[in-house]
Structure 1
């Protein structure tokens, strides 16, 4: 039975992927007008947005609109709500907000599941081992991202946990912008800083693995995950991150604050 469910999900994803090549809009958008009610939804749900100036908030919404015009967002086995779409767009904009001109050329479709899923992309409550909240697709899922709705909302509702799954996955896409996900932000960091960055990363990973760091333990598994985990912390709790990890903060600031 689980095998049949898995095949069904994979076929659905392939169908969505095929359709995504023909459609570029995710929600009806006319004349690039930003709905006024976005402001209130974002103030309520996105702390990063709330901390921006009014002018910056307008720019943030414009960047969200640009992302939504380019990217398909599809709900799997549930009805997509507009807040789902807005939180995904906000997650995409946050890591690149300070970039003057950026779009995710390596992303066409975001699939959002109702719950956490396992390695076989199964999200049924009866399936054990459903711990994955997001991933960036490869192979036949190239240019796609899969997110759990529960993980998406948890990332924005918990203001103290230093984590945000959707931001994590979009940082992986930034990492992949040079063609490979390797934990080296080559498109973000000038070449002369890459070796010092890696030296610092290895030092920080050692501290994580020795249980001597407040950076989430998943960041100690590889350079790839360290960049994404540290990036979550950088955007979710910037003041605390700067106080706890001033040298790393400066490095990530050089990456994300253009």
Structure 2
């Protein structure tokens, strides 16, 4: 009798173990409720969004909502406006828009300062050396991003300068997805392309430093900054980048377009 009981218990254990586990409920991005007036605000301020199809625009807005639900945005010494949040969320979505599922697991908070700031995070108008537009935090600011509101808005208002501070900093976060910001986007780039990518990067950096390139000078300071600067160019002026730097365009396309 005890032998039969043991067999029954064993069968129950096996049945429970083999039974598929329930997966948590997920809600399709397209089912997310988005404020209707966002559409016009995005059309007016975000060129990347304006170029998308209607279906893609719907998806873009849904991804913005999901980002804002997962991230705390805090204004420092000024009152946060809706457009500030819209531009931050758009900056976050643009680099990963073509990725089916992406969450910034290395970001919890975005601190937005009213103006540019220095290395000590001082932004008073009397402070010298206020030239930092944004940064990805480390140490006590781990999982934080700090942005200049002035730089954030300028990046979207100027549609011809190939630069965008918000996009720049979120590309740094993508670079950091493998644990280190080193200019090698391991989370985006297939391993077999790493060496060709680095060879191209240093070639382009040399051109920048010899004043033989239209890529922003800051991209010549390190391969880390090159990735972010070239990424800004890729999203802000893709046709121009493709015409002037076709090899670099193809490499970045392989990173950001899946």
Which residue of structure 1 aligns with residue 103 of structure 2?
103
Task: Look at both structures and tell me which one has the larger radius of gyration over its CA atoms.
Answer: 2
Q: How is 1:36-55 mapped onto 2 (pairs within 5 angstroms)?
A: 36-55=36-55
Query: SS of the residue aligned with 2:146?
Result: strand
TM-score (norm 2): 0.88
CA distance in 2, matches of 1:216, 1:44: 25
CA distance in 2, matches of 1:110, 1:85: 10
Q: How is 1:245-256 mapped onto 2 (pairs within 5 angstroms)?
A: 245-256=245-256
Gaps of 5+ in 1: 1-30
The Cα shift of 1:129 comes to 1.0
Which residue of structure 1 aligns with residue 20 of structure 2?
none
1:161 and 2:161 aligned = yes
Which residue of structure 2 aligns with residue 13 of structure 1?
none
Query: SS of the residue aligned with 2:124?
Result: coil
Which residue of structure 1 aligns with residue 92 of structure 2?
92
Which residue of structure 2 aligns with residue 5 of structure 1?
none
The Cα shift of 1:51 comes to 0.4
CA distance in 2, matches of 1:128, 1:182: 29
Q: How many residues align?
A: 228
CA distance in 2, matches of 1:233, 1:218: 12
Query: SS of the residue aligned with 1:35?
Result: coil
The Cα shift of 1:143 comes to 0.2
Per-residue deviation, residues 110-133 of structure 1 (Å, max 9, x unmatched): 000000000110000111110000
CA distance in 1, matches of 2:32, 2:76: 27
CA distance in 1, matches of 2:149, 2:187: 29
C-alpha RMSD over aligned residues: 0.7
CA distance in 1, matches of 2:32, 2:82: 17
Which residue of structure 2 aligns with residue 186 of structure 1?
186
TM-score (norm 1): 0.88
CA distance in 2, matches of 1:106, 1:54: 30
The Cα shift of 1:64 comes to 0.3
